[in-house]
Chains A and B, each alone.
Chain A
Amino acid sequence: MASGMANIVQFENVGLRYGTGTETLSDLSFTLTSGSFYFLTGASGAGKTSLLRLLYLAQRPSRGVVRLFGEDAGVLPRARLPGFRRRIGVVFQDFRLLPHLSAYDNIALPLRVAGIPESDIEAPVREMLAWVGLTDRGKAKPPTLSGGEQQRIAIARAVIGRPEILVADEPTGNVDPDMAERLLHLFDSLNRLGTTVVVATHDFHLLNRIPNARMMRLEKGRLHDPTGALRHPPASPA
Chain B
Amino acid sequence: MKLSLNPNAPDRRLLDEGRRTRAMTWIMSVMLFLTVLSGGLGLGMLAATAQLDRQLSGRLTVQIVEPDAAVRDRQARELVAALRSTAGVVRAAEVDRARLAELLKPWLGDTGLDPDLPMPAMIDVDVRGDAAVRATEEAARRIAPSARVDRHAQWLSPVRSFMATLTWLAGGLVLLMASATAAVVLLAARAGLDTHRDTIEVLHMLGSTDLQVARLFQRRIAIDTLLGGAIGAALALGLIWLLQSRFDALGSELMSGVALQQRDWFLLLLLPLSFALLATFAARVAVLRALAKTL
CB contact under 8 A between A113 and B1, given known A85-B205, A90-B205: yes
B109 CB-CB contact with A under 8 Å: no
B154 CB-CB contact with A under 8 Å: no
Question: Bound state CA distance, A58 and B294, in angstroms?
Answer: 10
The smallest C-beta distance from A222 to any residue of chain B, in angstroms, reads 24
Beyond contacts A57-B295, A96-B202: 13 other A-B pairs, Cβ-Cβ < 8 A, are A56-B205, A60-B295, A79-B209, A82-B204, A82-B207, A82-B208, A82-B209, A85-B206, A96-B205, A98-B198, A98-B202, A100-B17, A118-B10
Pairwise interchain contact B207-A112, C-beta atoms closer than 8 A: no
Q: Which residue of A lies closest to B199 (CB)?
A: A98
Within 8 A of A (CB), among B193-227: 198-199, 201-210, 212
**Chain A residues within an 8 Å CB radius of B292:** 78
**Chain B residues within an 8 Å CB radius of A118:** 10
**Chain B residues within an 8 Å CB radius of A60:** 295
**Chain A residues within an 8 Å CB radius of B11:** 112
Interface locus among A8-16, A23-31, A33-41, A102-110:
A102-110
B18 CB-CB contact with A under 8 Å: yes
Pairwise interchain contact A112-B205, C-beta atoms closer than 8 A: no
Pairwise interchain contact A108-B10, C-beta atoms closer than 8 A: yes
CB contact under 8 A between A113 and B198, given known A100-B17, A101-B14, A108-B10: no
Pairwise interchain contact A59-B206, C-beta atoms closer than 8 A: no
CB contact under 8 A between A105 and B10, given known A82-B208, A113-B206: yes
Residues of B whose CB lies within 8 Å of any CB of A are 1-2, 10-11, 13-14, 16-18, 198-199, 201-210, 212, 292, 295
A234 CB-CB contact with B under 8 Å: no
**Chain A residues within an 8 Å CB radius of B212:** 113
A48 CB-CB contact with B under 8 Å: no
Q: Which residue of B lies closest to A102 (CB)?
A: B13
Some 19 contacts from A to B, beta carbons below 8 A apart, are A58-B205, A60-B295, A78-B210, A79-B209, A82-B207, A82-B208, A84-B207, A92-B205, A98-B16, A100-B13, A100-B16, A100-B17, A109-B203, A109-B206, A110-B207, A112-B10, A113-B207, A113-B208, A118-B10
A211 CB-CB contact with B under 8 Å: no
A21 CB-CB contact with B under 8 Å: no
Interface size on A, as a range, is 20 to 34
The smallest C-beta distance from B233 to any residue of chain A, in angstroms, reads 32
Partner of B1, one of A85, A101, A112: A112
Q: Tell me which of A57, A60, A79, A98 has the highest count of chain B C-beta atoms within 10 A of its own C-beta.
A: A98
**Chain A residues within an 8 Å CB radius of B204:** 81-82, 85
A83 CB-CB contact with B under 8 Å: yes
**Chain A residues within an 8 Å CB radius of B295:** 57-60, 81
**Chain B residues within an 8 Å CB radius of A100:** 13, 16-18
Q: Which residue of B lies closest to A114 (CB)?
A: B207
A237 CB-CB contact with B under 8 Å: no
The smallest C-beta distance from B60 to any residue of chain A, in angstroms, reads 71
The smallest C-beta distance from B261 to any residue of chain A, in angstroms, reads 47
Residues of A whose CB lies within 8 Å of any CB of B are 56-60, 78-79, 81-86, 90, 92, 96, 98-101, 105, 108-110, 112-115, 118, 157
Question: Bound state CA distance, A99 and B10, in angstroms?
Answer: 15
Question: Bound state CA distance, A90 and B199, in angstroms?
Answer: 15
Pairwise interchain contact A101-B13, C-beta atoms closer than 8 A: yes
Pairwise interchain contact A115-B202, C-beta atoms closer than 8 A: no
Q: Tell me which of B2, B202, B207, B209 has the highest count of chain A C-beta atoms within 10 A of its own C-beta.
A: B207
The smallest C-beta distance from B130 to any residue of chain A, in angstroms, reads 65
Question: Bound state CA distance, A144 and B206, in angstroms?
Answer: 23
**Chain B residues within an 8 Å CB radius of A98:** 14, 16, 198-199, 202
**Chain A residues within an 8 Å CB radius of B10:** 105, 108, 112, 118
**Chain A residues within an 8 Å CB radius of B209:** 79, 82
Pairwise interchain contact B207-A96, C-beta atoms closer than 8 A: no
**Chain B residues within an 8 Å CB radius of A84:** 207
**Chain A residues within an 8 Å CB radius of B17:** 100
Q: Which residue of A lies closest to B10 (CB)?
A: A112
Question: Bound state CA distance, A56 and B212, in angstroms?
Answer: 20
**Chain B residues within an 8 Å CB radius of A56:** 205
Pairwise interchain contact B2-A115, C-beta atoms closer than 8 A: yes
**Chain A residues within an 8 Å CB radius of B201:** 96
Pairwise interchain contact A86-B207, C-beta atoms closer than 8 A: yes
The smallest C-beta distance from B76 to any residue of chain A, in angstroms, reads 85
Q: Tell me which of A79, A84, A100 has the highest count of chain B C-beta atoms within 10 A of its own C-beta.
A: A100
**Chain A residues within an 8 Å CB radius of B208:** 82, 113
Question: Bound state CA distance, A114 and B203, in angstroms?
Answer: 11
Pairwise interchain contact A113-B203, C-beta atoms closer than 8 A: yes
The smallest C-beta distance from A117 to any residue of chain B, in angstroms, reads 9
The smallest C-beta distance from B9 to any residue of chain A, in angstroms, reads 9
The smallest C-beta distance from B73 to any residue of chain A, in angstroms, reads 90
